[in-house]
A and B are shown apart, each in its own frame.
Chain A
Amino acid sequence: QKEVEQDPGPLSVPEGAIVSLNCTYSNSAFQYFMWYRQYSRKGPELLMYTYSSGNKEDGRFTAQVDKSSKYISLFIRDSQPSDSATYLCAMRAQGGSEKLVFGKGMKLTVNP
């Protein structure tokens, strides 16, 4: 079983839709949770960073972490064509190794 599971999609939505992206994980030691956005042929760009459980909002983006279910989500409101990219979840444990463990990434297309 992989430590982090992410549906690779692809996902196609109309402009203005609410997008929900999710990852599940198996390692209960994970405490730091991140969402990265990656445009084609570019490096991953940090979008949201959350420590432990709870919600975090930044503009049109909301990240949620449910540690009891080992489930994290990223919501994008009022999606725009410029949001079209691959979204990767990543997480790491507290203490010990600082390596990030990534999901496979979900390719999102927002159609005008």
Chain B
Amino acid sequence: EAGVTQFPSHSVIEKGQTVTLRCDPISGHDNLYWYRRVMGKEIKFLLHFVKESKQDESGMPNNRFLAERTGGTYSTLKVQPAELEDSGVYFCASKLGTGGGEQYFGPGTRLTVT
């Protein structure tokens, strides 16, 4: 069974540009999560989709971040316009059912904003 995949693995953009990150969850997993880790800090939650609906977006830092999951399969996270402090590693995770259960993480996208 394929794991969570993320694309690209690394992105370098200039301040003010737009970047779109993609996550493909494990097949059949209705729950999809975005997290990020900025330098020297803990991994922090951004938001949670159940199928195509946003269940919890309490961790989204500001309105420059837009997450979508059209059709309830893959998800995209767009940062527009990017700022220097957005640099970090963005992880996606997926989980099978509701309630408890393990979240499985992807390899992450390393975003560098210069």
From B4, B35, B44, B103, name the one whose CB has the most chain A CB atoms within 10 angstroms: B103
Check if B91 sits within 8 Å of A98, measured CB to CB.
Answer: no
Check if B105 sits within 8 Å of A104, measured CB to CB.
Answer: no
A88 interfacial by beta-carbon distance below 8 Å: yes
Interface residues in B, total, Cβ within 8 A? 27
| Chain B positions within 8 Å of A51 at CB level | 100
A36 interfacial by beta-carbon distance below 8 Å: yes
In the assembly, what is the distance between CA of A73 and CA of B99, in Å?
A: 24
A99 interfacial by beta-carbon distance below 8 Å: yes
Q: Smallest CB-CB separation from A36: which chain B residue?
A: B105
| Chain B positions within 8 Å of A44 at CB level | 43, 91, 105
- Known contacts A44-B91, A46-B104: A98-B48 contact under CB 8 Å: yes
In the assembly, what is the distance between CA of A99 and CA of B42, in Å?
A: 13
- Known contacts A43-B4, A88-B43: A100-B103 contact under CB 8 Å: yes
Interface residues in A, total, Cβ within 8 A? 24
Smallest distance from the beta carbon of B49 to chain A beta carbons, Å?
Answer: 11
The B interface is mostly helix, strand or loop, or mixed, namely strand
Smallest distance from the beta carbon of B14 to chain A beta carbons, Å?
Answer: 23
- Known contacts A43-B105, A104-B42: A99-B56 contact under CB 8 Å: yes
Smallest distance from the beta carbon of B65 to chain A beta carbons, Å?
Answer: 15
Check if A43 sits within 8 Å of B102, measured CB to CB.
Answer: no
B72 interfacial by beta-carbon distance below 8 Å: no
Check if A32 sits within 8 Å of B58, measured CB to CB.
Answer: no
Among A49, A101, A103, the residue within 8 A (CB) of B45 is A101
Which B residues contact A (CB, under 8 angstroms)?
4, 6, 31, 33, 35, 41-45, 48, 55-56, 58-59, 91, 93, 95, 99-100, 102-108
Which A residues contact B (CB, under 8 angstroms)?
2, 4, 32, 34, 36, 42-46, 49, 51, 88, 90, 94, 97-105
